[in-house]
C-alpha cells in the first residue's frame, strides 16, 4: 500500500463523514531538504481555508492486518477534529483574508534558515537571500488561543504584495530578533541539567562550555545565526573564535574554539548526529561554522 493510496482511502472516508458541505482534498507538499509530505485539507464550502492534517504519520502507524478498521478509525478522528476546530478556522479565515494587504503583515515578517543545496527545488518557488551555504527565507506566524497559523512567503504572494527579496530581508532582519528573541542555555552534561540563561548574561559564559541557542519558541531557532551582533557579543566576551554546531533548523550549539578542537572531527560529529538523531526535514547543515573573532565574520568550516 502506497502513501498515495492510503491518502485517497482516508480522503473518501473523511468526505463521507463531514458531508457535502465540505471539500476534502489530498495534496503533496514539498517541505525542507527535499522531503515531501501528504496533507489532507478539509474546507467548508464558501470558506477560504480549513484545517490540514499530515498523513505521513498515520500511514506509518497503519496496521496492514486490520487496515479497514484503521482507516475507519483514522477518518473518524480527523472528521471529529475538523468540527472541534471551528473557532480556529474562523480566525485563520480572517487572517488569510488580509493577504492582499501587505501593510497588515510588514511587522510580522520573520526569517528562518534552510540549507541551499538540499532545497533547490523549494527555493525556486520562494523569495530568499543567500547566507553562506544556507538561505534566508521568509514566513509569517500568528498565535491564537486555539493554535498557530504559519505561512511561508512564496513568490506568488511576494508579487501580490509588490515586494522584493531584499525588502523582505530588511523587514525580517528588524522584526525577527524582536519578535523571537534568542535564548541561550548552559548544557551541563555531567549532571544532565540544562540551566537556561538569558542573552543579557553573555559575559558570564565560560570558555569551552557548550551552549544551546534558539529563540524563545524553539521553532526555527537556528535563525539566531543571522541575528545582528549575537555571535560577536559572545566572542567579545571571551576573546576567542566561536564554534557553531548546527543541531537542527531549530537550534545551534556554540562554544569557544580551543587549541585541541579539530574542525573536521566536529563536522563529522554533525553528520553522525544528523543520520542517527535528526529527521531529514530538520537538518540544517552537515558541517560546523566558525565565527572568527579578529575578522568579525562567520565562515563555513
Residue 253: pLDDT over 50: yes
* Main-chain phi, psi angles of 187, to 5 degrees: -95, 105
Give the pLDDT band (50/70/90) at residue 245: very high
pLDDT at 148: 57
- What the block records as the C-alpha cell of 10 is 482516508
- The pLDDT value recorded for residue 198 is 44
Q: Which three cell numbers stand for residue 123?
A: 527555493
158: pLDDT strictly greater than 50: yes
Average per-residue pLDDT in the chain? 85
pLDDT of residue 299: 95
Q: Give, in order, the Cα–Cα distances in Å from 225 to each of 203, 249, 284, 287, 297.
A: 18, 11, 11, 14, 11
pLDDT at 82: 78
Amino acid at each position: 500500500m502506497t502513501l498515495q493510496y492510503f491518502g485517497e482511502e482516508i480522503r473518501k472516508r473523511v468526505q463521507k463523514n463531514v458531508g457535502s458541505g465540505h471539500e476534502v482534498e489530498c495534496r503533496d507538499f514539498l517541505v525542507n531538504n527535499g522531503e515531501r509530505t501528504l496533507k489532507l485539507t478539509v474546507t467548508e464550502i464558501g470558506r477560504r481555508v480549513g484545517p490540514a492534517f499530515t498523513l505521513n504519520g498515520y500511514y506509518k502507524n497503519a496496521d496492514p492486518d486490520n487496515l479497514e478498521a484503521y482507516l475507519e478509525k483514522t477518518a473518524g478522528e480527523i472528521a471529529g477534529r475538523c468540527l472541534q476546530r471551528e473557532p480556529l478556522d474562523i480566525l485563520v479565515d480572517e487572517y488569510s483574508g488580509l493577504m492582499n494587504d501587505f501593510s497588515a503583515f510588514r511587522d510580522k515578517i520573520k526569517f528562518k534558515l534552510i540549507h541551499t543545496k538540499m532545497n533547490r527545488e523549494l527555493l525556486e518557488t520562494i523569495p530568499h537571500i543567500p547566507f553562506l551555504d544556507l538561505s534566508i527565507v521568509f514566513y509569517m506566524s500568528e498565535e491564537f488561543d486555539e493554535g498557530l497559523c504559519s505561512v511561508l512567503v512564496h513568490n506568488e504572494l511576494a508579487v501580490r504584495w509588490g515586494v522584493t527579496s531584499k525588502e523582505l530581508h530588511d523587514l525580517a532582519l528588524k522584526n525577527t530578533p524582536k519578535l523571537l528573541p534568542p535564548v541561550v542555555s548552559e548544557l551541563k552534561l555531567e549532571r544532565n541539567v540544562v540551566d537556561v540563561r538569558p542573552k543579557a548574561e553573555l559575559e558570564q559564559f565560560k570558555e569551552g562550555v557548550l551552549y544551546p541557542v534558539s529563540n524563545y519558541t524553539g521553532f526555527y531557532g537556528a535563525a539566531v545565526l543571522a541575528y545582528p551582533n549575537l555571535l560577536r557579543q559572545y566572542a567579545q566576551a571571551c576573546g576567542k573564535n566561536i564554534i557553531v554546531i548546527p543541531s537542527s533548523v531549530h537550534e545551534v550549539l556554540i562554544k569557544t574554539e580551543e587549541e585541541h578542537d579539530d574542525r573536521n572531527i566536529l563536522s563529522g560529529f554533525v553528520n553522525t548526529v544528523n543520520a542517527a538523531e535528526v529527521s531529514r526535514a530538520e537538518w540544517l547543515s552537515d558541517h560546523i561554522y566558525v565565527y572568527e573573532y579578529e575578522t568579525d565574520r562567520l565562515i563555513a568550516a
